[in-house]
Amino acid sequence: MEEDARRNIVSCKHSAARTGVEQDADVCPGVKVLKWLEKLMNYEDIYTFNIGLLGRLNTGIRCDVKRVNLETSKIKAIVHFLSRMPALMRQAYVPENLQQGFLGNGQIDAKSRSVPDILSIVGTDAAGRLSGHHFRQLFQWFYDPMMNNGHIDEHLSDDHGVPLNRNSSGEVVPKYHGISSEHRQRSKILSHKKQRELRRKLREDKQLAILTKQWKYYFAEQKIANWLWEPPPLFSAQ
């Protein structure tokens, strides 16, 4: 993150996908093309492209053959499938196919292909819970907190009527997580100065806690050692 900040690269993080349409790579044409190529192209058609990978897979299986408890024919089928995937994916996931998924859900705009398309993003909400007008209001409300803090707090989202997160069963899943559970947070600028400071302070607090624990054990051991080595009291002769 420090290097990103130095290069003026802004790293952002949003919430986990709620629906399939938000999965950029999964909804792009590359998936369909890949399945079509799997049926169309045989192993022999791309042998020259995957001979190196084929050799490494066979070597790896021979080195651990006892753990691969499968018939020879099945092992051969798995090796052939894995060894031809790079060549198939190189043809299926060309730039044009990849961009279609990101264009479809608004992660990039159709004109510059470099910034998000707000209306397309709002359009991914199939339930229609967020209107374009409401989104524009949220943008105005959230702009300053995001620029100042690098994070939209969940309580702020609740206060402005952002729909609550729900799982597949319809149950509300709260996301009130702090910097110690950053992987569970959403709506963040990871490279924001304040977030980097919080992350750095978290590391320092953890290191201090470890040192405090080590010193606590040290003093406890010293106390025991001093007790063991303490000379017995002298008794006067009767």
3-42 per-position pLDDT tens digit = 776 777 777 766 555 555 556 777 788 888 888 888 877 6
> For residues 76 and 60, what is the distance between their CA atoms, to the nearest angstrom?
13
C-alpha 22: how far from chain center: 15
Q: What angle do CA 203, 204, 210 make, to 5 degrees?
A: 90
Q: Which long-range contacts (CB under 8 A, 24 or more apart) does 135-143 make?
A: 138/162, 142/187
- What's the mean per-residue pLDDT of the chain? 77
97-147 per-position pLDDT tens digit = 888 888 877 778 888 888 877 777 766 655 555 666 777 787 888 888 888
Mean pLDDT for 171-198 is 82
Host H or E run for residue 188: strand 188-189
Q: Which of 84, 94, 92, 78 is nearest to 48 (CA)?
A: 84
Mean pLDDT for 195-213 is 92
Q: Tell me the sheet residues that pair with 172.
A: 166
Grouping H, G, I as helix, E, B as strand and the rest as coil, residue 13 is: strand
Dmax (CA) for the chain in angstroms is 106
Mean pLDDT for 205-224 is 89
> At residue 44, what is the residue type?
E
Percent of the chain with pLDDT over 70: 76
> For residues 1 and 97, what is the distance between their CA atoms, to the nearest angstrom?
30
> For residues 155 and 187, what is the distance between their CA atoms, to the nearest angstrom?
12
Q: Which of 151, 177, 195 is nearest to 1 (CA)?
A: 195
| pLDDT band of 207, cuts 50, 70, 90 | very high
Q: For the chain, what are the domain ranges? A: 1-17+130-226, 29-92
- DSSP secondary structure string for all residues of 133-166: HHHHHHHHHHHHHHHHHSB--HHHHHHTTPPPPB
Q: What is the pLDDT of residue 157?
A: 77
Mean pLDDT for 173-201 is 83
